[in-house]
Structure 1
Amino acid sequence: MNVYMTKGTTDYLSKLQANASESIWLMQNEDGALAYYEGDNNPFQEPLTYEVVDHVNELKQEGYVVLNNIPVTDEGRPIFEDRFKNRAGAIEDTPGFQAIRILRPTGGDQTYVVFTQWKDELSFLDWKESQAFQKAHRNNGPQSKEKPSYIAGPSYLTKYHMSSTQ
């Protein structure tokens, strides 16, 4: 399965969403909006394009979305993907968890995206403070002083609220 994303103003992406023949998810934050589509036919002019490495659950029309953007070296791609494919799955048991996507970039950019959807922001914050989060990230999480060799640079989060205009 492929994922296509594009950024823009809420007004522009809402019109794009309204005219689409397939489901486009719209998300908003203080900087603008993000349109997200899962499928084989790219609906955008200049998308960021990904392949889904792993996923759990269907997306919901309401929720809080966190994109963990992680630059990975070419050589490290198999290691990074294997780590997520064989993860413990603790996140799925977290109250408020709705869905996850591990997204492999298909263009020149080597930044993977770990897309998680939550019931609300508090559910995400509770996950970050949980023992399950600490255990899952003990060797290479945000608090680690030394990053694994397959990480090509600092990761960063982008956060959105799902738009219910769909």
Structure 2
Amino acid sequence: MFLAMNRFKINPIFTQDFEKVWRERDTFLSEVPGFKNFSLLRGPECEDHVLYVSHSVWESKDAFIKWTESEAFRKAHRQSSAPKGTYLGHPALETFTAVLEE
């Protein structure tokens, strides 16, 4: 199992816009071999931002890498985005490989 997570720092006045973009977008993930599931998680509210994490689970690191090189990835990332000022910096990608599963 392989997990890919992007951390987003979102301007508090744009959280509804940010969530709407994710709710309404086409992910094209169902057509990608090795994809297991996806979640968008809302984290703590800090003084200047709200933390969000996009969390996807894959059968393997190879499946994730193939997705990032796929037409489905390009189509998903071509879609409209949240209003200017929503993102406070670039997302931070974190990846993890399972060492124990039960």
TM-score by length of 2: 0.84
1:81, distance to aligned residue in structure 2 (A)? 0.4
Q: Which stretch of structure 1 is more off in the superposition, 83-92 or 113-122?
A: 83-92
Q: Which runs of 5+ in 2 are unaligned?
A: none
Structure 1 consecutive aligned stretches of length 4 or more whose deviation exceeds 3 Å? none
Q: Which runs of 5+ in 1 are unaligned?
A: 1-62, 142-146
Checking the alignment, whether the CA contact within 8 Å between 1:140 and 1:148 is kept in structure 2 is no
Query: Is 2:13 aligned against 1:78?
Result: no
1:162, distance to aligned residue in structure 2 (A)? 1.9
> Which residue does 2:6 correspond to in 1?
68
1:128, distance to aligned residue in structure 2 (A)? 0.7
In 2: Cα distance, 1:67 partner to 1:126 partner: 16
> Which residue does 2:68 correspond to in 1?
128
1:71, distance to aligned residue in structure 2 (A)? 1.2
Counterpart residue identity of residue 62, structure 2: L
> Which residue does 1:155 correspond to in 2?
91
In 1: Cα distance, 2:72 partner to 2:93 partner: 19
In 1: Cα distance, 2:101 partner to 2:19 partner: 33
Largest Rg, 1 or 2: 1
> What pairs with 1:2-151 in structure 2 (closer than 5 Å)?
63-108=1-46, 110-138=50-78, 148-151=84-87
In 2: Cα distance, 1:135 partner to 1:165 partner: 32
Question: Which structure's residues are more often helix, by fraction?
Answer: 2
TM-align CA RMSD: 2.1
Give the number of equivalent residue pairs. Answer: 99
Checking the alignment, whether the CA contact within 8 Å between 2:35 and 2:59 is kept in structure 1 is yes
% same residue: 24
> Which residue does 1:164 correspond to in 2?
100
- SS of 1:84's partner is helix
- SS of 1:115's partner is strand
